[in-house]
Amino acid sequence: MSETTSNILAQDSLSRKSLAFCGYTGYAAIILFIIGGVWLGGMLPPIPNANDAPAELVAKVNDNLLNFRIGSIFMIASFALFGTFGAGMAAQTRRFETSPVFSYVQIVFAAAGTTIALLVAFAWSLMVFRPDTYEPSILLMWADFAYFLALFSVPLFGGWCVLIALPIFFSEPGREPFPRWVAYVNLWAALLFAPGQMVIFFKDGPFSWHGIVAMYLPFIAFFAWIAIMSWVMIRIAHDENS
Amino acid sequence: MSETSQTQTRIPGEPGIWAFVTGDLLVFSLFFILIAIGNQEQTEVFSSARSTLDLRFGLANTLLLLTGSFFVAIGVERYRLNDGRDNRIWFRLAILSGVIFLINKVFEWNAKVSDGLTPMTNDFFMYFFVFTAIHAIHVFVGVVILSFLHKKSQAQFTAETQRGLESGAIFWHLVDLLWIMLFALFYLV
């Protein structure tokens, strides 16, 4: 039985291509976010700040209206690909399970994470839809909502990482879905996401949703995690011995 | 792979845990730098806030974690000796020290909040509450890991289990080290 499961990828070129595809969608998600969130959308670095007066935020939005709108489209494309990225990892975990458990759990968390991310892009787009019609404080709420979805969701995104690490640790040596170092990288990623939980207490400083510890660290760590896991999936797909 | 003898030098644990420890230290280094910057820029605020901290809580916590690390080290060493004794007691004692640390922390935070000192009071308390909370999560995770070690330490001796115990112990020692740094920066400096 161990021979069939471990050689499945060697014999099944569709599975190989599918896994590589999922890995490449991870790269695509990063590139789309760099265009939509970093370059155009003003999400990272954050153009809004948690301690902006509502009128200040309205002014910032109006100054960047077209860029933010186009950025929102790129962002939603990026975030939709979290689904393919996450499913790929779950599929690879599934190959090493006799009956699925962690692969199911990962699918749940990938689906939830993708939904949360999509809502981030929705919030951002609503913030820039009709900024002069909404009460200014509603715009502030959309900005708060976007960052809270992304940052305050540590048990979800951090949990997802832990749930990738656990089946690796629980596996028999030599029969792990991913190499052991991947488990440690996922634990480190979860650790780096953790400060995001602090955004509820602060509207300024390093632990606010525009702060270096609670925002920059988790955001950068998250996309670095996507890059690493995508690379791993592509490598497994191309490795004849996996 | 043959069982390693006591005389052969090797690095305990596995490479991944050391990479993780390094990563964790990097993150906490950022925290320490932030505290240092705050100390520099708001010396008055920090020193007066520091004086309201109860050194007894800090010392008790430091002693608890140091003792816990000592117990873990004994437990790992006894497992290596493989002389048939039940080594679980050492891990139980370490778990106890971790749990008491957490209870102690809750009492300490509660005391501060009752005095009207919260993370929003000033930058010193912002860093104090946030970083001790992040550390407390590490202690909690450490206790969970220790409970796995407790179970594993009963098992038949294998080199793989030994490495597993060492890796868990390394994490616990990291938790201890981080606390010592935080203790120094918050309570002593």
The reported pLDDT for the residue numbered B8 is 63
Q: Is residue B176 situated within a structural domain?
A: yes
Can you spell out the DSSP letters for A78-120? HHHTHHHHHHHHHHHHHTT-SS-SHHHHHHHHHHHHHHHHHHH
Whether residue B16 and residue A202 make contact (CB cut-off 8 A), yes or no, is: no
Does the pLDDT at position A79 exceed 90? Answer: yes
Does the pLDDT at position A48 exceed 70? Answer: yes
The reported pLDDT for the residue numbered B9 is 77
Domain with B82 in it: 15-188
Q: Is residue B9 situated within a structural domain?
A: no
A-chain CB neighbours of B14 within 8 Å are 180
Alpha helix stretches (DSSP H) within chain B? 15-41, 43-51, 55-81, 88-114, 123-152, 159-183
Distance, CA of A210 to CA of A143 (rounded, Å): 11
Domain count, chain B: 1
Residue of A182, A203, A204, A213 best to disrupt the B interface, most CBs of B under 10 A: A213
Neighbours of A69 (CB within 10 A): 16
Does the pLDDT at position A8 exceed 70? Answer: no
The reported pLDDT for the residue numbered A5 is 46
Residues 111-140 of B with CB under 8 A from A: 119-120, 123, 126, 130, 134, 137
- Residue B106 carries which DSSP code? H
State the pTM of this model.
0.89
B154 or A9, greater pLDDT: B154
Q: Average pLDDT for residues A151-179, to the nearest whole number?
A: 95
The reported pLDDT for the residue numbered B2 is 47
Q: Is B26 on the interface with A (CB under 8 A)?
A: no
pLDDT band at A163; cut points 50, 70, 90: very high
Q: Along the 189 residues of chain B, how does pLDDT read in single tens digits?
A: 445 455 567 889 998 999 999 999 999 999 999 999 999 999 999 999 999 999 999 999 999 999 999 999 999 999 998 887 888 999 999 999 999 999 999 999 999 999 999 998 999 999 999 999 999 999 999 999 999 999 988 888 898 899 999 999 999 999 999 999 999 999 987
Tens-digit pLDDT profile for residues A210-221: 999 999 999 999
Of A184, A188, A198, the CB nearest to B130: A198
SS3 A201: coil
Whether residue B120 and residue A195 make contact (CB cut-off 8 A), yes or no, is: no
A-chain CB neighbours of B126 within 8 Å are 202, 205, 207
Neighbours of A206 (CB within 10 A): 24
Tens-digit pLDDT profile for residues A100-157: 999 999 999 999 999 999 999 999 999 999 999 999 999 999 999 999 999 999 999 9
* Percent of chain A at pLDDT exceeding 70: 95
SS3 A226: helix
Whether B34 and A206 have beta carbons less than 8 Å apart is answered as yes
CB burial of residue A203 (10 Å; 0-12, 13-18, 19+)? middle
ipTM: 0.81
The reported pLDDT for the residue numbered B91 is 95
* Assigned token pair, A220: 């950068």
Distance, CA of B141 to CA of B138 (rounded, Å): 5
Whether A89 and A229 have beta carbons less than 8 Å apart is answered as yes
The reported pLDDT for the residue numbered B86 is 85
B136: domain CATH number? Answer: 1.20.120.80
Name residues whose C-beta falls within 8 Å of residue B126's C-beta, 6 or more positions apart in sequence: A202, A205, A207, B119, B120
